[in-house]
Chains A and B, each alone.
Chain A
Amino acid sequence: MSKKTHVQTEINGEGIEFLCEPRQSLLEVLRDELHLTGAKEGCNNGNCGACTVLMGDRIVNSCIVLGVEAEGEKIETIEGIATSEGLHPIQQKFLEHAALQCGICTPGFIVSSKALLEQNPTPSEEDVRFWLAGNLCRCTGYHKIVEAVMDAAKALNTEVADNA
């Protein structure tokens, strides 16, 4: 074990400090040091999206980010998506549309989809399919995932309209 570095960051709205080796990925830090195991490892080289988290204003594969790079960043993981008010509409729509089977890719899809809808509140099916191409699902054939995301967009837009 080599020397550890002190890192100060924000995860799901909370200030967090941790120690990690430079070689530890953000995914390893989240899972093994902080025990936030919602982000999953599927490939460890940026090709499946199961470890997707938000870092600042964009999504990243946490398996190809170093833990030390989290210094001063704002990270949001699947554990931070639901609030004390309840599930996020995307989570609710994944349940209603049966958009998950084994569920291992689900956290990554939900984090990715949230980032999509924040940038593009009215995506076309094509937009959704393109955006989610970095998230592999082997169970569903994506059909119900795409439906759920499109429906979540609708629900979020209705929510926005109601609040206006």
Chain B
Amino acid sequence: MQAFEYVAAKSISEAIDLLSERGDQARILSGGTDLIVQVREKRRSLELMVDVKQIPEVNEISHSSADGLVLGASTPCYKIYNDPDIKSAYPGLIDAVSIIGGIQVQGRASVGGNLCNASPAADSTPALIVLDATCVIAGPSGTREVAAKDFCTAPGQTTMENGEFLTSIKIPTPDTNSSSFYLRFIPRNEMDIAVVGAGASVVLDESHKSFVSAHVALGAVAPTPLYAEEASNLLSGQEISDEIINQAAEAAQAIARPISDMRGTANQRKHLVGVLTRRALNGAVNRVKETK
């Protein structure tokens, strides 16, 4: 493993200064479950790791009626799924953070890190996209916000510039009669990277017979996690039926442009997009019905 320096920043501004100084030779260290492995396996080189786990804002969970849930970017998965409020309001996010790596990885890995690593197969990103999450980015010229669906730009690349880093993720308070669901397909039952991932969120009418609105997002079928806009839009106002869910699944399949690699073939992935989209939507719908 190459040598590098390590600084545990105490404030957002200190972290920004360090990042600005070193440009692409500095990286934020959050849970380290991707970063440390990448440096060790020579897939990434750097001079400096900036640990942000001592910066309070980056590690807190807060709820407010204005912002909804504000999730410090470094909050590890286990803190998220042990939070009863997140559990009840954002079950799709819980689905995702409960299956990232093993329990050991969940003790460190964060949703912010999952986003910034920008893997097309990141489990939490589709879950955040369907929850309409916003990424809060701090930088030398202040703070800006980017929708989770626009955060990743290519494998390993994000919208962030040198000197910027992700401090928190804001997720709006869900509507009544809504729920969310995330699932992935992997060959084993745990410990794999998604062959395909699918997240869905739904808002149903009072009677739970129709969709008021829905969102679908996909993982591992394009260079970035994808928001399935057409699939999402076509559900709005429609009565819940296998037929309409199948149509959404087909629309999701239409935007998937998967590759073949050691985790799955393009054909298999395309096929799975349909299966998982259906299961994610049905899962979210059933959750609304169950909480009646």
Contact = CB atoms under 8 A, between A and B. Distances in A.
Interface string B64-85: 0000000000001010000000
A134 B105 contact: yes
Q: How large is the interface on B (under 10, 10 to 19, 20 to 34, 35 or more residues)?
A: 20 to 34
Nearest to A54: B107
Nearest to B38: A45
A134 B191 contact: yes
Given A22-B6, A23-B3, A45 B102 contact: no
B104 A52 contact: yes
A59 B103 contact: yes
Interface of A is mostly: mixed
Contacts of A58: 76, 78, 106-107
B108 interface: yes
Interface in A48-66: 49, 52, 55, 58-61, 64-66
B99 to A, nearest CB: 10
Nearest to B108: A60
A52 to B, nearest CB: 6
A116 B1 CA distance: 33
A47 B192 CA distance: 9
Contacts of B49: 22, 66
Interface of A: 2, 5, 21-23, 25, 44-47, 49, 52, 55, 58-61, 64-66, 68-69, 71, 112, 115-116, 130-131, 133-135
Given A46-B37, A64-B105, A135-B102, 19 more contacts: A2-B3, A21-B3, A22-B3, A23-B2, A47-B191, A52-B104, A58-B106, A60-B107, A61-B102, A61-B105, A64-B33, A64-B36, A64-B108, A66-B6, A66-B29, A112-B104, A130-B190, A134-B101, A134-B102
